[in-house]
Amino acid sequence: MDNPCLLSATEAGRLIAARKLSPVAYVQALLDRIAAVDGAVKAYITPLAGPALAAARAAEAEIAAGRWRGPLHGVPFAVKDNYFTAGVRTTAGSRLMLEFVPDRTAQLITRLQAAGAILLGKLNTWEYGTGNGAVYHDLPFPVARNPWDAARFTGGSSTGSEAAVAAGLAPFALGSDTGGSIRLPAAACGLAGLKSTYGRTSRAGVLPNCWSLDVTGALCWTAEDSAVVLGVIAGHDPEDPGSADAPVPDYRAALHGGVAGLTIGVVADVGPGVTPEIAEGIAASARVLEGQGARLVEVALPAPLADYRRAASIINWSESHSIHEADFCERAALMGQALRDKMTSGSLVRAADYLAAQRLRRVLARATDALFGLCDLLLLPGAFRVAPRFEDAAGVLAFTRESAMNVANISGHPAMSVLSGFDAAGMPLNAQIIGRYFDEATVLRAAAALEAATPHRARRPAL
């Protein structure tokens, strides 16, 4: 292989299982690439070179002895720095937590390590998952850069997670999604970013942002990677009070079912702001799926996007304020402007407003779920434009605020950002696929069908 750092997680896993790729050599190659490239990308906050190499040696010895644990054995990964890691600092991108070293490890990391995966390091993030860090420039760590064009925005808040995967600094990475924070960076950098059904994956050991909206998950290069990782991290966890006790299917096996016979609801109009390039990428994706046997029907969201955004904002502001109220009262001067603004907004939300937002959320969730009486999947925009340049402050704010990501956060349905092509400047375009509750398998099937029928996944950033 020319460069093992550009392997997908599942490609690397197959080579490791066949003993054609050494986990030690693979980890060392990634560490070397981090040293060479991350100065420009700024994905990592805390690389873990020593522990990663030790884990790689242990994995190599286990595999050589015939004790192979599965498709992620010996495969490295990295995590957004809001995931607790015992004995290793967890900063959440905040001055408030620069010295915080937890005594526990997040459940998802534990599950991945039990499957033989190797933790490579902790990744950049907006403060407590709150942004927009690219506009304010007042956080303790430099802003992560888009590997397709370092002058451009990464989306957020899982900024380091997407930058690391797109740049070949980790084959997959964990993030979190409260209002699109897995799917927005995936859209900005052309990744497969899956927000699973609310409750499908544990949040135990992950710093909360908004209890009733937070979802954990992974940013990957391919749908197959997403399926394999989800198969490891999904499942009930009694430590997370929002965790759902639902069966976990074999997502990887389900990938090969294709889309023939599925009915896909194309949401052609989500309101103003969607650029022609994004719209054409979605239309092209719809044609590909139709060519593979899917039936297309045009559907409309049951309410304007503004209703989803309004409900999400009020819920997010107030719940986040309740989580961080003590720090806001005692140490607000250490917070970045974006977090201070959010805390101020949360302090002004009345109980009546919060309850009204939750009631609206219930109405929107039921109405959105009713669409699945008409179709198996929804295809619609995620981000409305390609990643803007940092110098375009209005464009950066609009990239985050003007999207259709909140639909699935409010409704709780699984949703995935997929690569739908490239614009004339070579920047990734995106589409979003939404599925029925706990039917991530069908979402992944459609994403895999798109990847198999298009050449997009073969293209990598030229760093």
CATH number at residue 260: 3.90.1300.10
Count of structural domains, the chain: 1
pLDDT band at 362 (very low <50, low <70, confident <90, very high): very high
212 is catalytic: no
Handedness of CA 265, 268, 274, 280 (dihedral sign): positive
Range of weakest confidence among 37-46, 115-124, 125-134: 125-134
Of the ranges 148-152, 208-212, 266-270, 358-362, which one carries the lowest mean pLDDT score?
266-270
Residues sharing a CB contact under 8 Å with residue 333, sequence separation 6 or more, in sequence order = none
Share of the chain above pLDDT 90, in %: 96
Task: Give catalytic status of residue 181 as yes or no.
Answer: yes
Does residue 241 carry a pLDDT above 80? yes
Residue 348 included in any domain:
yes
Catalytic residue among 22, 94, 157, 420: 157
Structural domain contains residue 386: yes
Residues in the chain: 463
Tell me the average pLDDT across 254-274. Answer: 94
Residue 378 maps to a domain: yes
CA 195/CA 157 separation, integer angstroms = 13
Candidate list 158, 176, 181, 417, residue with the active-site label: 181
Strand segments (E) across 256-406: 263-267, 295-299, 377-380
Provide mean pLDDT across the span 417-446: 98
In a domain, 463, yes or no: no
Structural domain contains residue 181:
yes
304: which residues sit within 8 A by CB, 6+ positions away? Answer: 271
Examine the pLDDT at 1 and tell me if it is beyond 80.
no
Catalytic entry in 80, 122, 195, 342 = 80
Please tell me the distance from the alpha carbon of residue 209 to that of residue 230, in angstroms, as a whole number. 22
* Strands of the sheet with 44-47, listed across from one edge: 44-47, 118-123, 76-80, 172-177, 215-220, 192-195, 415-422, 428-435, 377-380, 263-267, 295-299
Residue 21 lies inside a defined structural domain of this protein = yes
Give the pLDDT confidence of 311-348 residue by residue, as tens digits: 999 999 999 999 999 999 999 999 999 999 999 999 99
Average pLDDT, the chain: 97
Residue 175 lies in a domain: yes
Q: Which amino acid is at 134?
A: A
Q: Could you give the residue ranges of the DSSP H alpha helices within 167-260?
A: 183-189, 223-233, 251-254
When pLDDT is cut at 50, 70 and 90, the band that residue 268 belongs to is confident
Q: Which helix (H) or strand (E) holds 100?
A: none
Q: Is 318 one of the catalytic residues? A: no
Q: Quote the tokens at residue 363.
A: 């109405």
What's the pLDDT score for residue 133?
A: 62
Contact 184, 383 (CB under 8 A): yes
Q: Can you give the residue range of the structural domain that contains 352?
A: 4-458
